[in-house]
Amino acid sequence: MTAARDAEGQQTTRAPRLPAKLAAHPSVQAVLTRRRAGDAVNPPAVIDADWLRELCLAAGADDAAAVGLDHPDLVGEREYAQSALPGTRTLIAMAVRMNRDNCRSPARSVANQEFHQADEQANHAARTVTRALQDAGYRALNPSVGFPQEMDRFPSERIWVVAHKTVAVAAGLGVMGLHRNVIHPKFGSFVLLVTVLVDAEVSEYGQALDYNPCIDCKLCVAACPVGAIAKDGAFDALACTTHNYREFMSGFTDWAQTVADSEDAADYRSRVTDSESASMWQSLSSPPGYKSGYCVAVCPAGEDVLGPYLDDRRTFMDTVLRPLQDKKETLYVLPGSHAQEYARRRFPHKPVKEVTGGWQPPAKRSTSSDRETRTS
């Protein structure tokens, strides 16, 4: 469209110059007719923050706030956001609550179902918000909460489009806890996060919290079965991913390498238990299972969560922490790692299994003829 001025000096909009064939097309004529009638969608240059928040809550989010892409804490996100949606100016962070006792269950099927259903709700909410923004005349995009991600980038660069935790903290939805999960001031650690990108500014942006909802109880340290969380704040990401994500990307790679390296069914079954095979099949046929979300499960932080811990800390630990600590389960660790030493020392009743984690292929095994030669 081009701008012109009428006889009174008011700015008007006149139709663009189009090739005759294009201008004669029925769809083009319909669009131009709507524009001349004033029916075209002309969104405000700045999105009203109250309208946006109500939109997010109505879509299924339990909390929401916006943050400008120029926020100093989002320097590392700008390139990726602009690549995903050129012209991005604002990131909308949304939080969806999870049911606490589902997450706390020692039965992984219960906890994992809660994680994945909340994933679906968050993705649905973000898609609904994106659709509403689009219908209002803006360009908007909602990256996935988690998987699927950009596997064509692996392993040379990060595979996620937007770092939801970083955005949520910058928008004021919470603070990163010792366990490397965002703690919401009201809902605590029991939230999943999602982000919507939009090509407009918002009338009011969220402000970072001026306090940390973490109460420094260190229960996440006590609950982690592979010692990934240290009391001093250190975090062993490799130990966490090796065990917790055993049936996600890296663990599947390790399992596939084991299958390829096995000589026959008997050899495979000597390396992989029936339970492990069944669990891997389940994760391949449905959403993959987390081996341990215990750091989230035991966290008492958040105004809606804190009461039972304050009322009776001993009972809280007996009913929330102890069942996870006492559960007999296989712990997956890298050979010679701190996680291996920690797991054996701290949880002697939990079997420990060495894996490569899929980060590199295992050393090539000798052939059966080589072994026969050595043992004959």
Class of domain 44-200: alpha beta
Residues 6+ apart with CB under 8 A from 84: 141, 143, 161, 162, 197
Rounded Cα distance between 229 and 234, Å, is 6
Kind plus residue range of the DSSP H or E element containing 118: helix 108-135
Cα-based distances in Å from 129 to 68, 135, 136: 17, 10, 11
Q: What tens-digit pLDDT sequence spans the chain (376 residues)?
A: 444 434 444 445 566 799 999 999 999 999 999 888 887 768 999 999 999 999 999 999 999 999 999 999 999 999 999 999 999 999 999 999 999 999 999 999 999 999 999 999 999 999 999 999 999 999 999 999 998 888 888 888 898 999 999 999 999 999 999 999 999 999 999 999 999 999 999 999 999 999 999 999 999 999 999 999 999 999 999 999 999 999 988 788 889 989 999 999 999 999 999 999 999 998 888 888 999 999 999 999 999 999 999 999 999 999 999 999 999 999 999 999 999 999 999 999 999 999 987 666 555 655 544 544 444 3
Residues 6+ apart with CB under 8 A from 194: 61, 93, 94, 96, 122, 123, 125, 126, 142, 143, 145, 164
| DSSP-based three-state secondary structure for 56 | helix
Domain ranges of the chain: 44-200, 217-352
Q: What is the pLDDT of residues 252-286, one digit of tens each?
A: 888 998 999 999 999 999 999 999 999 999 888 88
Q: Structure pTM?
A: 0.86
- Tokens for 325? 């600590």
Q: Please answer whether residues 196 and 127 qualify as being in contact, where contact means their C-beta atoms are separated by less than 8 angstroms.
A: no
**DSSP string over 197-246:** EESSEESS-----SS-------HHHHH-TT--B-TTS-B-HHHHHHHHTT
Rounded Cα distance between 90 and 200, Å, is 6
Rounded Cα distance between 359 and 250, Å, is 7
